[in-house]
Chain A
Amino acid sequence: MKESRRKFLKIAGVSAIGIGTGSVLTAFASSGSKEEKAAQAAGARFKHRAESLKAGHWGMVIDTRKIDADLAAKIQETCHSIHNVPGIEGKQELKWIWPSDYKHVFPMQTNPYVSEQLKKAPILALCNHCENPPCVRVCPTKATFQREDGIIMMDFHRCIGCRFCMAGCPYGARSFNFRDPKPFIKEMDPMYPHRMIGVVEKCNFCDERLARGQMPACVEVSKGAILFGDLDDPDSNVRKALRANTTIRRKPSLGTSPSVYYIV
């Protein structure tokens, strides 16, 4: 079982060191555990693709000033079509990235006198790929897990559909397949798997595109309004943007430390 698990991670183009590390219980254990060593040994047999994009910790900066309703809709449509997110409407909808507004995306950070521009602006909501993710902590099967480069992944083949991660997520970023999504997918994209009934899904920072050397789809269609890069690299585009602008993150008081930053 462990072997196939590792294969899955390797194919996704990552190291398996994420398993079991960064957890509450192993945080006190000394580094270089058996699991890690085994993962490193396995790593010798799996190579990163030469063209894949790598980072110490992926981060995103969304310049809300540059996104209007049309662009937001286009971003959402692009993301949902390449990830086979079904177009189900109503209370049981699924969404990975969607335009909301300032008072809902930042419910405790608003005030009655925010600028007219901010009041009207579509603010994109998506998974924050938290550094300290509650969803990963609560998952009873490690079906949702944190990669070394900070991306919070979903293993659709392991998820038992308990939806504990949805209760745990403080950002409402996760969706559940209440029904078979297939009839609701307009055009199936063969580059990404569709899901079965009963599993949870969410934004994956386009890990499948990063592995192919491409930027996330939302970044590509955003005309520069969304930046994506390595937060660990002081010279990266995201770090430059963070230095030059005042940015905020969602619900900072919760200690989740989101990897998505907003210029407002």
Chain B
Amino acid sequence: MLEKAINGSSKYWIWIASLLLIIGVAGLAWMKQLDQGLVITGMSRDVTWGFYIAQFTFLVGVAAGGVMLVLPYYLHDYKAFGRITVLGEFLAIASIVMCLLFIIADMGFPSRLMNVIIYASPDSMLFWDMIVLNGYLFLNILVGWNVLEAERNGVPAKKWVKIFALISIPWAFGIHTVTAYLYCGLPGRGFWLSAIIAPRFLASAFAAGPAFLIILATILKKTTGFDSGEKALRTLSKIVCYALIANVFFFICEVFVVFYSQNPEHMDHFIYLFWGTGNLVPFMWASMILMVTGIVLLLIPKYRNNLSLLPWICGIVFIGTWLDKGLGFVTGGFVPNPLHEYTEYAPTALELVISMGIFATGFLVLTLLFKMVVGIKQESGDTTPH
């Protein structure tokens, strides 16, 4: 099936070449980081995780979001998703690849990566995160590949594939829950020390993931003619809407607890993020405005059902949830620090270049996988829904 990915127009190859160029430049930046250490980043003794770990956290959500296609199709036999569940699975693969690369980029001593396996420490949530992320990667490769191959051969997928697809459903919830547990079990970090973190992560993931899928589906239709189907997109838009409402609701619950209780160890992080003097304040407010705007537009059927407007609304949702989780969440937990001192964090140019390289790698994986899907759909004459 891979041959489908190496057979494309000149536009396709220009896109691939641009991604490779970005990856190459980022590779050089990473060499510099390997040589000099994380000194090239904006991280500090007080803010010890920055842009890398924030992207990792957000992308685990995008990966988990794919389950919003897999679950209705495999559990409820929702046929409109049947043609595109593989897109959700392949988006999950690309996202997990980026997650793992961001973890490696963040490590101070990456050549010791295998110590996590050699000296396996089940007390550490990072150990479990390694297991669930790699397991989810494996499940999605296994299911996505076999379903696609069956489609190519014009036969129904084998029964055992469905078993793994069913396993991947709770597993998707698992990856983002364990990722939340990395944060919410730390006694000294008031901003993260909340049981709502895992549910909130899942809610924002189920908004961001499907929103991104709607955008990708629109791009696929424009560039390849592959139509995901109006019904599928409409259903996805409803999922985005309700997941986003849940996310904002959970956030309001957190805000109530924090500000009504007036507990400074929890409250001071929120004050820093929304009313402080730090550089994150405008981004946090932008996040709130974008998420609320997204909810309003998605709730009104006239806008939600307008398929040329929908991808733009999804863009608003995606950026809103990214600012919240991919920017504010990690830094916000570190400021103020345990001694109640305020240290600002901003990523450096090199940190951003390395991050761009990882995003480009993710897009490369995604492009190759989606190219395969479209190639096979074209072969079997399944480019428009029946």
Residues in chain A within 8 A of chain B (CB atoms): 1, 23-25, 91-95, 100, 103-105, 107-108, 125, 134, 136-143, 158-164, 166-172, 175-180, 196-200, 251, 254-256
Contact = CB atoms under 8 A, between A and B. Distances in A.
Contacts of A1: 118-119
Which of B46, B112, B123, B340 has the most chain A CB atoms closer than 10 A to its own CB?
Answer: B123
B45 A94 contact: yes
A6 to B, nearest CB: 13
B337 A168 contact: no
Nearest to B345: A91
B157 interface: no
Which of B36, B130, B187 has the most chain A CB atoms closer than 10 A to its own CB?
Answer: B187
A179 B188 contact: no
Interface stretch (B101-109, B132-140, B170-178, B238-246): B101-109
Nearest to B38: A178
Given A1-B118, A141-B116, A198-B108, A92 B187 contact: no
Contacts of B109: 159-161, 196-199
Contacts of B116: 140-141, 160
A163 B188 contact: no
B156 interface: no
A164 B107 CA distance: 10
A160 B115 contact: yes
A142 B125 CA distance: 13
A108 B48 contact: no
B148 interface: no
A160 B108 contact: yes
A95 B46 CA distance: 12
Given A108-B265, A180-B37, A254-B188, A141 B108 contact: no
A255 B187 CA distance: 8
A160 B104 CA distance: 10
Interface in B287-340: 333-334, 337-340
Contact of A175 (B45, B124, B188, B189): B45
A198 B45 contact: no
B118 to A, nearest CB: 6
Contact of A107 (B49, B124, B187, B340): B340
Interface in B178-216: 182-183, 185-189
B126 A138 contact: yes
B113 interface: yes
Contacts of A171: 188, 338-339
Given A139-B124, A167-B186, A178-B38, A104 B339 contact: yes
Given A91-B44, A91-B45, A142-B119, A178 B126 contact: no
Interface in B4-52: 36-39, 41, 43-46, 48-49
User: Which 4 residue pairs of A and B lie closest in terms of their CB atoms, listed nearest first?
Assistant: A161-B108, A170-B188, A198-B108, A91-B44
Given A159-B112, A163-B49, A139 B339 contact: no
Given A137-B123, A141-B116, 18 more contacts: A92-B39, A107-B338, A107-B340, A108-B264, A134-B187, A138-B123, A138-B126, A139-B121, A141-B115, A143-B119, A158-B119, A159-B112, A160-B112, A160-B116, A162-B108, A164-B182, A171-B188, A178-B39
Interface of B: 36-39, 41, 43-46, 48-49, 106-110, 112-113, 115-116, 118-119, 121-127, 130, 182-183, 185-189, 264-265, 333-334, 337-341, 343
Nearest to A162: B107
Contact of B339 (A25, A172, A254): A172
Contacts of A166: 45, 48
A178 B50 CA distance: 13
Contacts of B338: 107, 169-172
B188 A199 contact: no
A100 B339 contact: yes
| Majority DSSP secondary structure for residues of B touching A | loop
Contacts of B36: 179-180, 197
B126 A164 contact: yes
Contact of B121 (A91, A103, A141): A141
A165 to B, nearest CB: 9
A158 B115 contact: yes
Contact of B124 (A103, A105, A164): A164
A198 B37 contact: yes
Contacts of B127: 140
Contacts of A139: 121, 124
Contacts of A92: 39, 43-45
B309 to A, nearest CB: 41
Nearest to B189: A167
A25 B121 CA distance: 10
A158 B187 contact: no
A53 B209 CA distance: 58
A119 to B, nearest CB: 15
18 contacts: A91-B46, A91-B343, A105-B339, A108-B265, A137-B124, A140-B127, A141-B121, A160-B109, A161-B108, A163-B49, A163-B106, A164-B124, A164-B182, A167-B183, A168-B188, A169-B188, A178-B43, A255-B187
B38 A176 contact: yes
Given A138-B186, A162-B108, A197 B264 contact: no
A25 B123 contact: yes
A139 B125 CA distance: 9
Given A160-B108, A176-B48, A196-B109, A251 B126 contact: no
A107 B190 CA distance: 13
A136 B186 CA distance: 12
Contact of A125 (B122, B185, B339): B339
B103 to A, nearest CB: 8
Given A25-B122, A91-B45, A198-B38, A134 B337 contact: no
A167 B46 contact: no
